């Protein structure tokens, strides 16, 4: 059934919604509350169902798919435990930029909230979905379905990248509906001329500008680079912004070096970021912040009196660039190079992380994608990995979802097509979604997982050691299975590679392999990178 053909049931309307949103892959676990929806999906061969092993896996895969493409992805789960499990990935999408359409079943409409104890009943599941999505639609009957689902579609493609949910009771899927859906439409939001003029005035007088780039700039790489060049502004990225500016660019600096430049900056241009970490560095009356953000709540979240440019990063920066005077500025490339060199010297002891990350960079194709779990190599990658292109470093963001990595990378690989995807996970987090290797094997998804084995929840154990002493670590050591045998049990390419040279060779073989791969490396304890990530103030009244 095409989107132009009048749909007859809520189930078919929901399938049309997926199609109109551009979804061609549905990460899912079927169940009795959604039977009629999946029956309708049989007649939609253009939408490929990827059956997962856990609802967290389904939502994490949808997250990776959306992040790597910048488009819409989808998952479908049953209510109750299914929805609660999927809420983990939806929460990540809510914070880390995932346009995920979550199709969630519900108990019979007439029993909603009545406490009869029907299968998968909860008192108010919509209240939970409200906290992990930007929009929730509950379809209580066929008459309201078109308007409700249309509202969800429009919310999905407009504004900041965040999930939406559609809840449908088990006895409503078969209701007839009146009329088709329309294609969702998102207007491009560009900052108004008045705020642009204010920003131009501030930047025209700036002597030591600095730029901070977050996830909201992932589709504005060209504009970020052009503005940095015009202003001769050193530029750093934090987590979700990695890759927007090529790390090899003469004006790029790592986060720690950004803190050194923050000390004397007179203007900071913050593009698509909440300024989460930099605001630990202090602020005074000599510093003006110009904030470019699609989310108006983030224009001045820290109440600094920021000059707010409310709009999509790309077109808003383009309008700003066009309005700026083009007088040449003295190059600050040498200054950026000096702080980069100082950073490299200060972090030279972070081994073997640095050498392992360099091996990964050599093995990974130029446009390859890194997906980080909460793990030692991931922390070090924030500081030292050579990001080159937008949407090549995927993260769960401030949620910090330990264990998302395997499933997150599988979804990213399906979204990335022929590009290579490497999920970096620790042995602690690996167990959370390790069974999704069965999903990769079943659907022949050529993702590569790098498993960093150290026999512990390494970050937890190090914090316990640093705070309380080595003799007071608790609940942080692990007894692991034979990971080599575990990988081979799925019939996937599996090998162990200890040390940078062996790792580079093993990853090369994995990337050349047509199907999924697991590469295992063991390092033991590693030096602590956190002193270079969480740093105190360098300016302000108490410095």
The tokens of 310 are what? 């409310």
Q: What is the mean pLDDT of residues 33-53?
A: 97
Q: Which of 159, 298, 324 is nearest to 232 (CA)?
A: 324
d(CA 81, CA 264): 51
- The pLDDT value recorded for residue 144 is 93
Assess whether pLDDT exceeds 70 at residue 206.
Answer: yes
pLDDT tens per residue across span 216-258: 999 999 999 999 999 999 999 988 999 999 999 999 999 999 9
- How many CB atoms are closer than 10 A to CB 142? 18
Q: What is the mean pLDDT of residues 259-270?
A: 96
Burial 256-266 (b: 16+ CB within 10 A, else e): bbbbbbbeebe
Q: What is the mean pLDDT of residues 328-338?
A: 96
- The pLDDT value recorded for residue 371 is 98
Find out whether 478 and 455 touch, Cβ atoms under 8 Å: yes
Q: What is the mean pLDDT of the chain?
A: 95
d(CA 308, CA 391): 25
Binned at pLDDT 50, 70 and 90, residue 7 comes out as low
Q: Which of 94, 73, 99 is nearest to 156 (CA)?
A: 99
Task: Kindly indicate whether the domain formed by 193-344 is annotated with CATH number 3.60.15.10.
Answer: no
Assess whether pLDDT exceeds 80 at residue 2.
Answer: no
SS3 463: helix
- The pLDDT value recorded for residue 5 is 47
Handedness of CA 250, 256, 257, 263 (dihedral sign): positive
DSSP assignments along 37-56, one per residue? HHHHHTT-TTSEEEE-SSHH
Q: What is the mean pLDDT of residues 39-46?
A: 97
Binned at pLDDT 50, 70 and 90, residue 6 comes out as very low
The H helix count followed by the E strand count for the chain is: 19, 17
CATH code of the domain made up of 347-531: 3.40.50.970
Binned at pLDDT 50, 70 and 90, residue 1 comes out as very low
Domain 10-169 matches domain 193-344 at the CATH topology level: yes
HEC profile of 122-185:
CCCHHHHHHHHCCEEEECCCHHHHHHHHHHHHHHHHCCCCCCEEEEEECCCCCCECCCCCCCCC
- The pLDDT value recorded for residue 11 is 98
Assess whether pLDDT exceeds 90 at residue 469.
Answer: yes
Instruction: Enumerate the domain spans of the chain.
Output: 10-169, 193-344, 347-531
Assess whether pLDDT exceeds 70 at residue 4.
Answer: no
Q: Where are the beta strands (DSSP E) in 392-436?
A: 393-394, 421-426
Assess whether pLDDT exceeds 70 at residue 24.
Answer: yes
Assess whether pLDDT exceeds 60 at residue 430.
Answer: yes
Q: Omega of the bond prior to 352 within 30 degrees of 0, cis?
A: yes
The tokens of 318 are what? 């383009």
Q: What is the mean pLDDT of residues 208-217?
A: 97
- The pLDDT value recorded for residue 306 is 94
Assess whether pLDDT exceeds 50 at residue 510.
Answer: yes
Q: What is the mean pLDDT of residues 524-542?
A: 89
Percent of the chain clearing pLDDT 70 (strictly above): 99
Handedness of CA 204, 209, 211, 212 (dihedral sign): negative
Binned at pLDDT 50, 70 and 90, residue 281 comes out as very high
- The pLDDT value recorded for residue 525 is 86
Q: Which carries the bigger pLDDT value, residue 541 or residue 413?
A: 413
Fold (CATH) for 10-169 = Rossmann fold (3.40.50)
Assess whether pLDDT exceeds 90 at residue 95.
Answer: yes
Q: Give pTM, 2 decimals.
A: 0.96
Assess whether pLDDT exceeds 60 at residue 146.
Answer: yes
- The pLDDT value recorded for residue 492 is 97
């Amino acid at each position: 059934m095409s989107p132009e053909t009048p749909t007859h049931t809520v189930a078919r309307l929901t399938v049309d919604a997926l199609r109109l949103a551009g979804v061609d892959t549905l990460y899912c676990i079927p169940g009795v509350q959604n039977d009629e929806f999946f029956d309708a999906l049989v007649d939609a061969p253009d939408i490929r169902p990827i059956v997962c092993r856990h609802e967290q896996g389904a939502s994490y895969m949808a997250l990776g798919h959306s992040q790597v493409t910048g488009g819409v992805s989808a998952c479908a789960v049953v209510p109750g435990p299914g929805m609660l499990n999927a809420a983990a990935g939806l929460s990540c999408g809510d914070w880390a930029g995932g346009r995920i359409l979550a199709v969630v079943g519900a108990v019979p409409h007439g029993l909603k909230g009545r406490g009869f104890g029907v299968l998968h009943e909860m008192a108010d599941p919509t209240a939970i979905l409200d906290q992990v999505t930007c929009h929730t639609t509950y379809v209580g009957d066929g008459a309201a379905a078109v308007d409700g689902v249309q509202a969800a579609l429009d919310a999905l493609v407009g504004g900041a990248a965040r999930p939406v949910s559609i809840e449908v009771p088990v006895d409503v899927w078969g209701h007839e509906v009146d009329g088709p859906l329309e294609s969702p439409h998102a207007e491009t939001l560009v900052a108004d001329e008045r705020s642009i003029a204010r920003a131009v005035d501030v930047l025209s007088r700036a002597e030591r500008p600095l730029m901070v780039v977050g996830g909201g700039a992932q589709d504005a790489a060209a504009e970020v680079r052009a503005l940095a060049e015009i202003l001769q502004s050193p530029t750093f990225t934090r987590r979700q912004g990695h890759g927007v500016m090529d790390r090899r660019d003469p004006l790029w600096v790592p986060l720690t070096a950004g803190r050194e430049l923050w000390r004397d900056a007179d203007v900071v241009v913050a593009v698509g970021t909440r300024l989460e970490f930099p605001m630990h560095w202090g602020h005074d009356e000599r510093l003006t912040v110009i904030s470019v953000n699609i989310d108006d709540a983030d224009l001045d979240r820290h109440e600094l009196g920021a000059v707010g440019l409310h709009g999509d990063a790309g077109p808003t920066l383009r309008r700003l660039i066009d309005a700026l005077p083009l007088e040449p500025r003295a190059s600050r490339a040498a200054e950026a190079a000096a702080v980069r060199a100082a950073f490299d010297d200060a972090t030279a002891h972070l081994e073997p992380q640095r050498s392992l990350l360099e091996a990964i960079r050599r093995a990974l194709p130029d446009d390859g994608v890194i997906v980080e779990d909460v793990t030692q190599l991931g922390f070090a990658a924030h500081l030292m990995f050579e990001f080159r292109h937008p949407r090549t470093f995927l993260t769960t963001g401030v949620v910090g979802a330990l264990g998302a990595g395997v499933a997150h990378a599988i979804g990213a690989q399906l979204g990335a097509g022929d590009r290579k995807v490497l999920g970096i996970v620790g042995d602690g987090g690996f167990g959370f979604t390790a069974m999704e290797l069965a999903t990769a094997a079943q659907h022949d998804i050529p993702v590569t997982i790098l498993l960093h084995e150290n026999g512990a929840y390494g970050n937890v154990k190090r914090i316990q050691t640093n705070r309380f002493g080595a003799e007071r670590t608790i609940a942080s050591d692990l007894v692991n299975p034979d990971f080599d045998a575990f990988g081979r049990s799925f019939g996937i390419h599996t090998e162990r590679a200890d040390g940078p040279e062996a790792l580079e060779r093993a990853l090369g073989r994995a990337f050349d392999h047509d199907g999924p791969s697991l590469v295992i490396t063991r390092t033991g304890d590693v030096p602590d990178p956190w002193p270079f990530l969480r740093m105190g103030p360098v300016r302000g009244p108490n410095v």
